[in-house]
Amino acid sequence: MPSQIMNIGPVPCEENAAQVGRPDYEERSRRECQLFKRMLERLHPVPADCQAGLVIKSFPHDFGSYREVCVRYEDTDPIATGYAFDLESNTPAEWDAIARYELIWLERLEVLNCAVRKGEMSQDDIPAAFRTGQLPALPAEHTFSQLLAAFPLWFSA
């Protein structure tokens, strides 16, 4: 069956994305695409028995490779084709509350891990909520403020 790839983007269209060529591009774009993919899967789940799925792909660019979230679908499957085009036309413009929380959470985790690598703190000093490295399971009905209150984030001094 012929597989098609449709680019959705690296982040929601009204959000700032990591810029190719910047020193932090690799880490930041990987994190952004991972969370954008999670958000799309949460908001637009792939229908059952549908030959489609979300993937993160890299593409060549004059200043290096860039990555985007894409939908891969079988164009002979009308449900998969419909899903891909519906996703493209209904892609969220902004991060939802869960994705915004997760972005900050992963940034904090990187700060903590960097401090451990530099010997500025020990692994035992990392707050318990960050020790596993796994994003917390967040309730979908909460606002960003409610998520912060229910799942406090560690902030560096």
Asked if 9 contacts 85 with a C-beta cutoff of 8 angstroms, the reply is no
Q: How far apart are the C-alpha atoms of 24 and 32, rounded to whole Å?
A: 12
What confidence score (pLDDT) does residue 131 get?
86
Asked if 20 contacts 63 with a C-beta cutoff of 8 angstroms, the reply is yes
Report the amino acid identity of residue 136: P
> Is the model's pLDDT at 57 over the cut of 70?
yes
- Give the global pTM: 0.89
Q: How many CA atoms lie within 13 A of 94 on its CB side?
A: 5
Looking at the chain, the whole-number percentage of residues with pLDDT higher than 90 is 71
- Average pLDDT of the chain to the nearest whole number: 92
What confidence score (pLDDT) does residue 1 get?
52
7: β partners: 70
> Is the model's pLDDT at 104 over the cut of 90?
yes
